[in-house]
Structure 1
């Protein structure tokens, strides 16, 4: 299993909206960055990811699971763009903020720290465990 991070502005798509979709999940659509798209192409059903509220909150608030592999993005007719579907697994016990992540030396190489604008990004096994620990949330 691989780990990922999915970023969304709360005004566009929030954790509560993701949870409301239940086990059916929702397309992670609208991504128009080649690197983020390529990361989604690498995802497999069963991979887990952090759900990150960007802009105002700047915090990891939940864990999601990939429930459909990369497929054409339904929000465009442009064949270059694909997306995966994700479903909510559980909320974080305590949200983990970007400031907390940046302050932890163990996370200094994390993509979120080095390229905070990328909307879909990989998370290493070690980073996953550290962040779940900070957020007092079950990692698996």
Structure 2
């Protein structure tokens, strides 16, 4: 079965990669954008998810996996919102900055660059593998 690849964004001041690793698991909740919600719905158990520190750092810092597929977001008081459970896999050997991503011919068209406000985006296999190479990290 083919894997899908994703990128989630979070402000490190709100929920950092380090905190995620310490927690060992998290419910990815609070997404209130329809496209991002649809991306959460498309996530399958075992899919790889890159963790991006937004705002202050602007860099990909970790690799996670989907542990539990989409379910009703418990933080939503109304609407049809979705959450997934993620588990950390490993810290990247070398963070990959937004500056590097924008300058790279393979990565410059990522949704992270084209739709910068979207908190959950898909990646194609080539983009994922290239990011992992730049991060000097093996899955």
Bin of the TM-score, shorter chain as denominator length: over 0.9
| Aligned residue number for residue 18 of structure 2 | 16
Measure how far apart 1:5 and its partner are. 0.1
| 1:87 paired to 2:87 | yes
Q: How many residues align?
A: 137
Query: What stretches of structure 2 of length at least 5 have no aligned partner?
Result: none
Measure how far apart 1:77 and its partner are. 2.5
Measure how far apart 1:98 and its partner are. 0.3
| Aligned residue number for residue 68 of structure 1 | 68
| Whole-Å separation in 2 of the counterparts to 1:73 and 1:89 | 23
1:82-105 per-position Cα deviation (integer Å, ceiling 9, x unaligned)? 111101000000000000000101
| Aligned residue number for residue 100 of structure 2 | 100
| Whole-Å separation in 2 of the counterparts to 1:94 and 1:107 | 16
| Whole-Å separation in 2 of the counterparts to 1:73 and 1:12 | 18
Query: What stretches of structure 1 of length at least 5 have no aligned partner?
Result: none
**Stretches of 4+ moved more than 4 A in 1?**
none
| Aligned residue number for residue 47 of structure 1 | 47
| Whole-Å separation in 1 of the counterparts to 2:41 and 2:77 | 18
| Aligned residue number for residue 38 of structure 1 | 38
- TM-score (structure 2 length as normaliser): 0.95
Measure how far apart 1:79 and its partner are. 4.0
| Whole-Å separation in 1 of the counterparts to 2:23 and 2:46 | 17
| 1:131 paired to 2:118 | no
Measure how far apart 1:11 and its partner are. 1.3
